[in-house]
Amino acid sequence: MSDPFFTRHEPCPECGSKDNVGVWANGNEHCFSPGCTYHTNGTGEIMQAEQQDKTTSLTKGILSAIPDRSITEDTCRKYEVTIQGNKHFYPLFDDAGTHIANKIRRVDTKEFYSEGKVASSTLFGQKGFSEGGKYITLCEGEIDALSTYQMLGSKWPVVSIKTGAAGAAKDVAKSYDFLTSFDNVVICFDNDDAGNKAAKKVAEVLSPRAKIMPMQYKDANEYLLNKAQDKFVKDWWSAKTYTPEGIIAGSEMWSTIMEGVTEPAIAYPYDGLQNLTYGVRMGELVTITAGAGLGKSQFIKELVYHVLGNTSDNVGMMFMEESVKKAGLSLMSLEANKPLHLPDVFSTATDKELKDSFDNTLGTNRLFFYDHFGSNAIDTIVGRVRYFAKALDCKYVVLDHVSIIVSDQQHGDERRALDEIMTKLRTVVQELNICLLLVSHLRRPSSAGHEEGAATSLSQLRGSASIGQLSDIVIGLERNGQHEDEKERHTTTVRVIKNRFSGLTGPACRLYYSRQTGRMTELEEEGEEFE
């Protein structure tokens, strides 16, 4: 009677592997994951581990070449690989050199399974090489290890992980001392997504000894089968030392340096502010802060209007404390040079004034608003910023203000919520190369309030130090709304309190808000310097 035929792979209910359970036509099931004991007979009865004695009688075949893989008998002898019928046996040993397990490959079905104590064994091939030396190569599978050893002229140690790409890092950690006894560990994994990811994980463990070999074929054995031994050796010698992501050698930065200094996307609309900041740049997070009612929203709308009139870029706007209609009317007011958001002014404006103001601002199809009637969850807000940038091609995004977002969070920890949203916003700014204009509130000072002209500082940013830390530019607005002089009550000092680009900080300029025009204009001060 012939053996029942193999039908399919399934997940393992015991170890959780995705497809390591083999199912046969007679109902037998067996998990081939190393260390897993799941096995059923045809009745569905689960057999216990002690019923599966896989260590007492390890199979040994006959020493032979593997013609279908172009592996010579000498190579098989080095690794003690044997053959029995349609099965190939790849032996695994413990630290003492005792044969304790086999990886078994069936040629007809191309399936791999194991017998013995795979989890307790060293790397495949490790027994055949002593510790220490200049080079060792680490492969993803046994056939590739044999192929690599053979193509390198049997000159250098070559070993393989035991459990494929998924278990590579674990296998390497177990044999860490052995691998790191060599000056260089050349990683030769399969040229596919799983292999490339596993190679990087292993390289992280073995850094700085790790080198990743560039692969022109799927795996080492394909080089051998295609008679590309010379190409393999060349690629092997060209393996580069692995450098973790984010690490850049200064010696490789010449072309980057010669690109020049980052040019501003646009100048600020106020000369004093421009002189300190050198303009607005993409990839920057700019925070505007001030006390309550001191013109943060007005200031940031002046910036938006300036962008609208001096670039062709789109702008995304999220005003969390006012309606979309009011925000839209405020921008139209800047074009009309009168505060259209006030009922008496709107009612006296002509249809032409309203239409022209609309056409030159909202009607340009370059302004996009977030109507925040829905969720203010952090991920929702960050997602809208991303949508503005990716889907609507907005180079500038306004968020006014961040404090109201974190106040809506369920966990009630404002500092933690601010840390979370600032980190995510910082990531989006860098990833998408946009300019984010952020409004943040200040804590009330212990002495005179900001409404009475108190100076702004980074330490007064409300809620979390992450706002100041993750911002490139922080601009504070100061105004004494209680001043006896009417002009002073409407005059705002603009202070740069952080400037990552140039390092220049301090008072930048003074802006006067006209109730008639609804505009903030820069004052030219005689005998007073703002440095």
Q: Give Cα separations from 497 to 238, 294, 460 (angstroms).
A: 50, 17, 11
In a domain, 530, yes or no: no
Q: Give Cα separations from 336 to 209, 399, 507 (angstroms).
A: 67, 24, 30
Q: Would you say residue 410 has pLDDT above 60?
A: no
Q: Would you say residue 251 has pLDDT above 90?
A: no
Q: For residues 291-318, b (16+ Cβ closer than 10 Å) or e, as one string? A: beebbbbbbbbbbbbbbbeeeebbbbbb
Angle at CA 287, nearest 5°, toward 286 and 292? 155
Which position has the token pair 């503005």? 388
Q: Give Cα separations from 168 to 177, 196, 197 (angstroms).
A: 15, 11, 10
pLDDT, tens digit, for every residue of 261-305?
A: 677 889 999 999 999 999 999 999 999 988 877 888 899 999 999
CATH number of the domain residue 175 falls in: 3.40.1360.10
Strands 6-10 and 21-24, sheet pairing: antiparallel
DSSP 8-state assignment for residue 69: G
Tell me what the mean pLDDT of segment 197-219 comes to.
Answer: 91
pLDDT, tens digit, for every residue of 140-169?
A: 999 999 999 999 999 999 999 988 787 888
Q: How many residues does the chain have?
A: 531
Q: How confident is the model at residue 485 (pLDDT cuts 50, 70, 90)?
A: confident
CATH number of the domain residue 514 falls in: 3.40.50.300
Identify whether residues 44 and 93 lie together within a single domain. Answer: no
- Quick check: 454 and 448 in contact, CB under 8 A? yes
pLDDT at position 441: 80
Identify whether residues 7 and 154 lie together within a single domain. Answer: no
Give CA torsion, residues 369, 371, 377, 381, to 10 deg.
Answer: -10
Range of the domain at 511: 271-522
In a domain, 81, yes or no: yes
pLDDT at position 17: 58
pLDDT at position 520: 92
Identify whether residues 15 and 64 lie together within a single domain. Answer: no
Q: For residues 376-396, b (16+ Cβ closer than 10 Å) or e, as one string? A: bebeebbebbbebbeeeebbb
Task: Work out how many domains the chain is built from and give that number.
Answer: 3
pLDDT, tens digit, for every residue of 421-474?
A: 888 899 999 999 999 999 888 876 656 565 666 777 787 776 667 888 889 999
| Residue in 90, 157, 154 with CA at minimum distance from that of residue 124 | 90
pLDDT, tens digit, for every residue of 132-141?
A: 999 999 999 9
Q: Would you say residue 528 has pLDDT above 50?
A: no
pLDDT at position 4: 54
pLDDT at position 527: 40
Q: Would you say residue 48 has pLDDT above 70?
A: no
For residue 493, give every residue at least 6 positions away whose Cβ sits within 8 Å of its Cβ, in sequence order, or none: 477, 478, 479, 507, 509, 510
Last residue of a domain, one of 18, 36, 52: 52
pLDDT, tens digit, for every residue of 7-46?
A: 677 766 554 455 667 776 667 777 766 556 667 765 544 4
- Of 362-371, 393-402, 452-461, which gets the smallest average pLDDT? 452-461
Q: Would you say residue 408 has pLDDT above 70?
A: no
| Residue in 32, 28, 25 with CA at minimum distance from that of residue 40 | 28
pLDDT, tens digit, for every residue of 216-235?
A: 999 999 999 999 999 999 99
Is residue 51 classed exposed, middle or buried when 0-12, 13-18 and 19+ CB atoms within 10 A define those classes? exposed
Identify whether residues 68 and 48 lie together within a single domain. Answer: no
Residues 24 and 39: their CA atoms lie apart, in Å, by: 12
C-alpha R_g of the chain: 34
pLDDT at position 10: 74
Alpha-helical runs (H) found in 131-252: 142-151, 168-174, 176-179, 193-206, 220-225, 229-237
In a domain, 266, yes or no: no
In a domain, 24, yes or no: yes
Q: Give Cα separations from 45 to 29, 37, 42, 111 (angstroms).
A: 10, 13, 7, 24
Percent with pLDDT over 90 in the chain: 49
As beta bridge partners, residue 114 has 103
Which position has the token pair 């390591």? 20
Residues 102 and 107: their CA atoms lie apart, in Å, by: 15
**Tokens coding 201:** 């994980």
pLDDT at position 37: 63
pLDDT at position 525: 63
Residues 216 and 207: their CA atoms lie apart, in Å, by: 24
Give the three-state DSSP class for 107.
Answer: coil
Q: How confident is the model at residue 50 (pLDDT cuts 50, 70, 90)?
A: very low
Tell me what the mean pLDDT of segment 67-86 comes to.
Answer: 92
Residues 124 and 111: their CA atoms lie apart, in Å, by: 18
Q: Would you say residue 492 has pLDDT above 80?
A: yes
Identify whether residues 371 and 511 lie together within a single domain. Answer: yes
Identify whether residues 210 and 334 lie together within a single domain. Answer: no
CATH number of the domain residue 33 falls in: 2.20.25
- The model's pTM is 0.56
**Residue 441, preceding peptide bond in cis (omega within 30° of 0):** no
Q: Would you say residue 213 has pLDDT above 70?
A: yes
Alpha-helical runs (H) found in 238-295: 254-257, 271-277
pLDDT at position 264: 82
Identify whether residues 34 and 86 lie together within a single domain. Answer: no
| Residue in 272, 308, 491 with CA at minimum distance from that of residue 398 | 308
**Tokens coding 107:** 């040629």
Identify whether residues 233 and 359 lie together within a single domain. Answer: no
Identify whether residues 72 and 44 lie together within a single domain. Answer: no
Which position has the token pair 């404390």? 321
In a domain, 264, yes or no: no
pLDDT at position 342: 87
pLDDT at position 208: 85
